[in-house]
Amino acid sequence: MNGIEKAKIISKILNQIYPKIKVPLKSRNNFTLLISVLLSAQCTDVNVNNVTKNIYPRYNKPKHFVKLGRKRIEKLIKKIGIFRIKAKSIFNLSKILLEKHKGQVPKTFNELEKLPGVGHKTASVVMSQGFGYPAFAIDTHIHRLAQRWGLTNGKNVTQTEKDLKNLFPKKNWNKLHLQIIYYGREYCKARSCYGLTCKICTTCYPHRKKPVITRKA
């Protein structure tokens, strides 16, 4: 079974389980989506949502966070991991958005990735979920599963993104990103499936006997 054949099987299974998919991070606009994705680094979506539900009703624009200042932002997000670093990024990127982008989130990868604390993965999520642009954000779940399913060698996240984009139709990237994340959390977990028990793993590799060792993102 080659990569294209596996990709078709995987898409079919994911569409059966998740015909419709919800964005896990809650937001009010593209700016708060950007902030939530930034906050989600080394943190669960549930924790981010629990923290931001008390923030976004009052503070949901760059000017709000500039006015708050770093120290007050820190207090608002102190339940989130590495909150001081994230508060600094939020404050600085809010200033840049006001000064260079008229308070709007830019619509290109290049401009997004120039913002403090915004890497390619964060930019990809904003481009796909915020602007509807086809993107394939690779997080730890997707990087791990792509290796288990034989879709990439897992050399690095850049290679994984390239391999997945070559295997799946562009029109499906945005939905697939979320489907794979949900499937990884529910069925093909890091410490339970090991490439041996879930429906996708057993369908793609019916004779596999040994646990799959994957490279970290």
User: Which uninterrupted H or E stretch holds 83?
Assistant: helix 83-100
- What residues contact residue 89 under an 8 Å CB cut-off, 6+ apart? 38, 116, 117, 118
Based on the residue annotation, tell me whether 139 is a catalytic residue of this protein.
yes
Radius of gyration of the chain (CA): 18
The phi-psi region of residue 154 (left if phi > 0; otherwise alpha if psi is between -120 and 50; otherwise beta) is left
First to last CA, the chain: 25
Structure tokens at 83: 């909150």
Single out the catalytic residue among 20, 45, 67, 139: 139
Structure tokens at 21: 């998919």
SS3 content of the chain, % helix, strand, coil (to 5): 55, 0, 45
Based on the residue annotation, tell me whether 86 is a catalytic residue of this protein.
no
Single out the catalytic residue among 22, 26, 100, 121: 121
- Catalytic residue set: 121, 139
